Structures are given as C-alpha cells and as structure tokens.
Amino acid sequence: MPSFVRSSTPPSAAHGAGGPSEADLLGFVRRTAADATLVSSLPLDPEGRTWIRLDGPGGSEAWLISWPPGAGTGWHDHGGSHGAFATAAGSLTEQSLAAQLPTEGWTLLELADGVDRERQLTEGSGRAFGPHHVHQVFNASSQQHAISVHAYYPPLPMMRRYSRSGPVLRLEQVELPEEWA
C-alpha cells in the first residue's frame, strides 16, 4: 500500500496537560478538510489508500487519507485514544457500536441487539468519538474516491482489529505504530 508522509498543517494553539479535547480535534479536522490546496496534494491510487501524516493540534496524531472506491478499514478501535474525522471529498460510511466494550481480557464477544449505528459523512461533515469507540469506515462508492482527515489524542498507542459475523465480534490482531510507519 503506497503512502506519502508530509507534515504541513497550520500551527495550533498549545493545550493543557490533558491534550486537545474531542471538540478541538473535530475543529481541526474540519478546518483541514476545507483546505483545498492540501486536499488536492494527496496522490490518489486506484488500488489502495494513500495518506499524508499531518501535525495535529496539541501533540495529536493526524492523517489526510484517500479512499479509492470500495476501500475500507474493517472493524477496529484506536487503542484508548479519542479522535475525530471529517470528509474532505466524496462520501464515507461509518458503522459503529453504541456500546463501550472492555479493552482487555477477551477475544470473543456477542453483541446485544440495538448497538449498531450507521452514518454517512459527506463532504464537509465530521464527527468526534471517545476512547472506547469501535467502528469501521468505508467508501461505498463504486466510482468516486473519498478523502478524509483524522486526528487522535493521545497519538495512537495501538489499534485493535476485529472480525464480525452477525452479533459476534472477535479480536483478530493488535497493531502497533511501527507497523504503520
């Protein structure tokens, strides 16, 4: 999967010891998604996602990511970090769980009825989420790339990847930051 790394975001204000809030991150991703020059600088690949690493506010980790038609993340969490993302071009679908899952001590969970949520994030829309958020994001278009901006605080210590079959969620893999560099 090709990647491109560049740090190029506007300077951000310093934050307290707690780092940027979800609202701070949401404001950042929305402003950055509206930066047409930055968004147009992201190379698009028809075969896979591409990305540029950005300087997020207050020491957060941020990314500009392209999504070719049909690309997605699969079910995952953000290792205890809170975050936000906004769509800069195209449309993304987010499927998430409206339940706080335990972060340790399990490999298989059966989800209760009514925990599934789905939302469309069209150009200019975004959302913030807390540290226990489990979701998958994908570009459902068969023809158009999507581009989004993501920010996480603290910087991602890990990502847990899950498989899902009906109500059953299974922990499949734990990825560490050095695996995404």
Q: What is the pLDDT of residue 181?
A: 63
* The CATH number fitting domain 22-100+111-157, selected from 2.40.30.170, 2.60.200.20, 2.60.120.10, 3.40.50.300: 2.60.120.10
Buried-state track 93-113, b at ≥16 Cβ within 10 A, e below 16: bbbbbeeebeeeeeeebebee
Residue pLDDT, tens place only, 109-140: 999 999 999 999 999 999 999 999 999 999 99
Annotated ligand binding at 133? The verdict is no
Residue pLDDT, tens place only, 74-117: 999 999 999 999 999 999 999 999 998 887 889 999 999 999 99
Annotated ligand binding at 145? The verdict is no
Q: What is the pLDDT of residue 35?
A: 98
> What tokens appear for 12 in the block?
């951000």
Annotated ligand binding at 78? The verdict is yes
Domain boundaries along the sequence of the chain: 22-100+111-157
Average pLDDT across the chain, whole number? 90
Backbone φ, ψ for residue 112 (5° rounding): -75, 160
Q: What is the pLDDT of residue 161?
A: 96
Rg (CA), the chain: 16
Taking every pair of Cα atoms in the chain, the longest distance, rounded to a whole number of angstroms, is 45
